[in-house]
Amino acid sequence: MKNSKLKSLYTYRWRICLIFILLVLPRLAFSLPFTERVTLQTGLRLIVSEDHSLPFVTFQLIIDGGSRIDPPNKEGLSYITAKGLLHGTTRNTAQHMNNTLDFLGANLSSSSSKDYISVALKVLKKDLVQGFNLFMDAITQPVFPEDEFRREIQRTLGAIKSVEEDPGGLSEREFLKTLFANSPYGHPVMGTGESLDRLTRNDMISFHNTYIRPNQAILVIVGDVSLNEIKKDLTGRLETWIAGEVSKVSYEQPPVSSAKTLTIDRAITQANIVLGNLGPPRNNPDFFPMVVMNYILGGGGFSSRLFTEIRAKRGFAYSVHSAFDFKKYTGSFSVNLQTKNDSAREAISIVLAEMKKIQTEPVTDMELEGARKYLTGSFPLRLDTQAKLASFLAQVEFYGLGDDHADKYVSHIKAVTKEDVQRVAKKYLNPGAYTLIVVGNLKEAGFRE
Partner 1 sequence: MFSVISLSVVLAIFSFVSVSFGEEKLGDKVYETILANGLKVILLEDHKAPVVTVQVWYRVGSRNEAWGKTGLSHLLEHMMFKGSKRFTAEQFVRIIEENGGKNNAFTSRDYTAYFVNISADRVAIPLELEADRMRNAIFDEKEFLTEKKVVLEERRLRTEDNPQSYLHEQVLATAYQVHPYHWPIIGWMEDLERLTLADAREYYNQYYSPANAFLIVAGDFSRQELLPKVEQAFGHLPATDAPHQSVGREPTQKGERRVVLKREGLVPALMMGYHVPNLKNPDSYVLDVIEAILSSGKSSRFYEHLIREKQVALRADVDHSLTSLDPSLFFISAEVLAGKDLLTLEKAIDDEIMRLQTEPVTPEELSKAKNQMEALFLYGQDSVFYQAMVLAQHEIAATWRRIDDYLPAIRRVTADDVMRVARHYLIPENRTVGLFSPITLQDNYHGPAKNLVKEKGHTR
Q: Provide the 8-state DSSP code for 362.
A: P
Nearer to partner 1, 245 or 384 (CB): 384
Nearer to partner 1, 119 or 217 (CB): 119
Residue 30 within binding range of partner 1, rule CB under 8 A: yes
Residue 380 within binding range of partner 1, rule CB under 8 A: yes
Residue 105 within binding range of partner 1, rule CB under 8 A: yes
Work out the burial of residue 243: count CB atoms within 10 Å of its CB; fewer than 13 is exposed, 13-18 middle, 19 or more buried: middle
> Which parts of 420-439 interact with partner 1 (CB under 8 A)?
435-436
Q: How far is the CB of 69 from partner 1 (least distance, A)?
A: 26
Nearer to partner 1, 424 or 439 (CB): 439
Nearer to partner 1, 369 or 419 (CB): 369
> Which parts of 341-360 interact with partner 1 (CB under 8 A)?
345-346, 348-350, 353
Total site size for partner 1, rule CB under 8 A: 102
> Which parts of 145-164 interact with partner 1 (CB under 8 A)?
151, 154-155, 157-159, 161-162, 164
Site string for partner 1, 301-340 (x = CB under 8 A): xxx-------xxxxxxxxx------------------xxx
Sign of the dihedral defined by the CA atoms of residues 392, 393, 398, 402, in that order: positive
Task: Name residues whose C-beta falls within 8 Å of residue 167's C-beta, 6 or more positions apart in sequence.
Answer: 266, 268, 270, 272, 338, 439, 440
Task: Name residues whose C-beta falls within 8 Å of residue 257's C-beta, 6 or more positions apart in sequence.
Answer: 179, 277, 278, 430, 433, 434, 435
Nearer to partner 1, 6 or 54 (CB): 54
Residue 442 within binding range of partner 1, rule CB under 8 A: yes
- Which of 78-87 are b and which e, b meaning 16 or more Cβ less than 10 Å from the residue's Cβ? bbbbbbbbbb
Site string for partner 1, 266-295 (x = CB under 8 A): xxxxx-------------------------
CA angle in degrees (0–180, nearest 5) for 103-105-107: 115
Residue 53 within binding range of partner 1, rule CB under 8 A: yes
Residue 407 within binding range of partner 1, rule CB under 8 A: no
How far apart are alpha carbons 227 and 210 in whole angstroms? 30
User: Whats the size of the chain, residue-wise?
Assistant: 449
For residue 248, which amino acid is it? Answer: K
How far apart are alpha carbons 437 and 447 in whole angstroms? 11
